[in-house]
Amino acid sequence: MTSPQRCKNLDLVEQDYGGRPLEQRESHQYEKEYVQSFVEKWDELIDWEGRAKGEGRFFVELLQRRGKQKVLDVATGTGFHSVQLLKSGFEVASVDGSAQMLSQAFQNARDHNFILRTTLADWRWLNRDVHEKYDAIICLGNSFTHLFSERDRRRTLAEFYAALRHDGILILDQRNYDAILDVGFDAKKHTYYYCGESVSAQPDHVDEGLCRFRYDFSDGQTFYLNMFPLRKEYTRNLLMEVGFTAVETYGDFQQTHREEEPDFFIHVAEKTYNP
Ligand SMILES: C[S@@+](CC[C@H](N)C(=O)[O-])C[C@H]1O[C@@H](n2cnc3c(N)ncnc32)[C@H](O)[C@@H]1O
């Protein structure tokens, strides 16, 4: 189902921060950020080839090791992970709250000879529109940090939990905001996620309640994303508090501790209850 609010936002041609960008700290702001012109540039930012190289078979092997087959990609974006998983033989359903993103994802999947099963849905009321249960849910690309209030984060995680089978897993990633908040952003490090060489991506403003990223493209276009700077331990605790029974956190696809601070954390939360 599509709400009238979302239909209206389909017409937005420019990102809309109401003239007060640092004050926009709402979970629904994403609807006014992924305007068509930004969505069309998204693949230049993430660079499918570079990203596939950076991630390797991390997600495929993680899912295969646990015997997971039916996957819900809740932050489909332009379809990168949905397509990677389809290529590896997983059954995939693709959700996003942005119609522009889903439409681009559908086209990208067509270009790879797949027909994407898409659902337009907001995570906060996911189960209104998604009725099947899944072995795994993936929420990747720093997407969860679009949620600004703890209420929305709890609500979303509860919706994800409910859409999983009894032994399902949630794979959710986030930028290393601890490092950004405490040390500063290292602009040289974008090896794994946002790989496009012709795009500069860095924070324009950082405080404990907002990390506003600025994306400068080679053709002179600039876009922004307002994100909530989640701290790693906060996310891990929240996952446990909503009912997941174990959380394992990887840094940049590595299990072992490295000298360097990771750019991204990947949390794998288990639903299975082992009394
Ligand atoms: C940073 S993009 C990441 C896209 C993709 N996973 C990637 O890594 O390229 C975040 C995505 O999450 C979606 N999103 C953000 N908040 C959402 C919400 N509350 N409900 C549904 N989708 C949401 C956006 O529309 C966008 O496509």
Q: Kindly give the pairing relationship between strand 118-120 and strand 91-96.
A: parallel
Q: Is the CB of 146 under 6 A from ligand 1?
A: yes
Instruction: Kindly report the protein residue whose alpha carbon is nearest to atom 17 of ligand 1.
Output: 97
- The pair phi, psi for residue 212, each rounded to 5°, is -100, 115
**Taking residues 98-120, what's their average pLDDT?**
97
Which helix H or strand E contains 212, and what residues bound it? strand 210-216
Proportion of the chain above pLDDT 70, given as a percent: 90
pLDDT for 24 equals 94
Please determine, for residue 193, whether its predicted confidence score (pLDDT) is greater than 50: yes
Q: For residue 94, what pLDDT band results from cuts at 50, 70 and 90?
A: very high
Q: Is the CB of 79 under 6 A from ligand 1?
A: no
Q: How many CA atoms lie within 13 A of 207 on its CB side?
A: 5
Give the three-class secondary structure for 176. coil
User: Rounded distance, CA 54 to CA 196, Å?
Assistant: 12
User: Rounded distance, CA 201 to CA 217, Å?
Assistant: 9
Q: Is the CB of 75 under 6 A from ligand 1?
A: yes
Q: How many CA atoms lie within 13 A of 170 on its CB side?
A: 30
| Domain boundaries, given as residue ranges, for the chain | 34-270
User: Rounded distance, CA 244 to CA 269, Å?
Assistant: 6
pLDDT for 180 equals 92
Condensed to tens digits (0 to 9), the pLDDT of residues 54-77 reads 899 999 999 999 999 999 999 999
Higher pLDDT, 256 or 74: 74
Q: CA geometry: angle at 189 spanning 32 and 146, to 5°?
A: 25
From the centroid of its chain, how far is CA 166? 23
Instruction: Kindly report the protein residue whose alpha carbon is nearest to atom 16 of ligand 1.
Output: 146
Q: How many CA atoms lie within 13 A of 272 on its CB side?
A: 9
Q: For residue 6, what pLDDT band results from cuts at 50, 70 and 90?
A: very low
**Taking residues 203-219, what's their average pLDDT?**
93
Question: What is the best residue among 2, 96, 152 to mutate for testing ligand 1's pocket, by most ligand atoms within 8 Å of CB?
Answer: 96
User: Rounded distance, CA 47 to CA 78, Å?
Assistant: 11
How high does pLDDT run on average in the chain?
91
Ligand 1: nearest atom to the Cα of 73? 6
pLDDT for 12 equals 74
Ligand 1: nearest atom to the Cα of 98? 25
- Report which of 263, 225, 266, 261 is spatially closest to residue 45, judged by C-alpha positions: 225
pLDDT for 4 equals 40
pLDDT for 189 equals 58
Please determine, for residue 8, whether its predicted confidence score (pLDDT) is greater than 50: no
User: Rounded distance, CA 268 to CA 250, Å?
Assistant: 8
Q: Classify domain 34-270 at the CATH class level.
A: alpha beta
pLDDT for 257 equals 52
Higher pLDDT, 10 or 37: 37
Please determine, for residue 17, whether its predicted confidence score (pLDDT) is greater than 70: yes
Tokens at 16, concatenated = 């809309």
Which helix H or strand E contains 267, and what residues bound it? strand 264-270
Q: In what order do the strands lie in the sheet with 118-120?
A: 118-120, 91-96, 70-73, 134-139, 164-175, 264-270, 246-251
Q: Which of 48-52, 195-199, 255-259 has the lowest mean pLDDT?
A: 255-259
Q: Is the pTM of this model over 0.85?
A: yes
pLDDT for 3 equals 46
Q: Which residue has tokens 């720093």?
A: 142
Instruction: Kindly report the protein residue whose alpha carbon is nearest to atom 1 of ligand 1.
Output: 143
Beta bridge partners of 172: 139, 267
Q: Is the CB of 193 under 6 A from ligand 1?
A: no
**Taking residues 130-159, what's their average pLDDT?**
98
Q: Provide the sign of the torsion angle of the four alpha carbons 18, 30, 235, 56, taken in this order.
A: negative
